[in-house]
Structure 1
Amino acid sequence: MSEGDIAEPLRGGSAPGSSRTSAQVLPFPAAPNRISFDRGELQTILNLYGRMVAGGEWRDYAIDFTPDKAVFSIYRRTSEVPLYRIEKDPKLARKQGAYSVVVASGLILKRGHDLDRVIRVLDKPLQVVSN
């Protein structure tokens, strides 16, 4: 075949001398079910993260999606253990609340049903500065 020729597939049968086999179509493997933050939740978390980065307190983050929970980890420096983890665990949604803020030592600072209220524990209150 030369460079400009197009090969046509065989129609109706197989090539002479070869056994006829049927092609089997395999389904595309679906992604495993993973828990994730939706757009609104991620916007709320990133708004807090942006304020803290602007204040010079946080520098890096990581997001992990597992079959059990979604985790937003916050770092002061890239090479350290995360300062805080904001976790979403739907299994706890009816009991203690799906959202929690966890410190590096594993202590849960706050847990609840409303993400805004839960991450408020990380947002520093405004202070009055006097001259």
Structure 2
Amino acid sequence: MTGEVVPLSTRREPQIGFDRLELTRILDLYGRMVAAGHWRDYAIELGREAAIFAAFRRAAERPEVRIEKRPALRQRQGMWALVNESGAVLKRGHELAGVLAPLERRLVKLVD
């Protein structure tokens, strides 16, 4: 035994997250979908490459939709994506409001 001291890394991996306005917008939509009886649960995953909000019809299923924020794609097709249950990208864009538009339209149909 040499008595060597090995420092633990104090550097944390960078993590992507939602800012307050983004999360407010997403949770507002989620609340309205719950009130319409369509969604029942959600999950948030914060990682090194993306922040993901997943909405579920039932807790034991795959998410019906995922709202993904990938800042690495900001200069390309946009950092926001709406992904369906099978993993297909339904909408991609630079603005969250535009990506949420298909869900907003579905909500109007559910309420009517």
Q: State the TM-score, normalized to the length of structure 2.
A: 0.85
3-state SS of the aligned residue for 2:90? Answer: strand
CA RMSD of aligned residues (A): 2.0
Q: Deviation at 1:31?
A: 3.1
Cα deviation for residue 125 of structure 1 reads 5.7
- Point out 4+ residue stretches in structure 1 off by more than 6 angstroms: none
Structure number with bigger Rg:
1
The correspondence for 2:83, drawn from 102, 105, 108, is 102
Runs (5+) with no aligned partner, structure 2: none
1:40 and 2:2 are equivalent in the alignment: no
In the aligned structure 2, how far is the partner of 1:77 from the partner of 1:122? Answer: 17
Alignment equivalent of 2:32, drawn from 51, 65, 73 = 51
The TM-score normalised by the length of structure 1 is: 0.73
The residue type paired with residue 100 of structure 1 is A
Q: Which has the higher helix share?
A: 2
Q: In structure 2, which of residues 52, 63, 66 is the aligned counterpart of residue 85 of structure 1? A: 66
Question: Share of identical aligned residues, percent?
Answer: 46
Q: Secondary structure at the match of 1:43?
A: helix
State the aligned residue count: 105
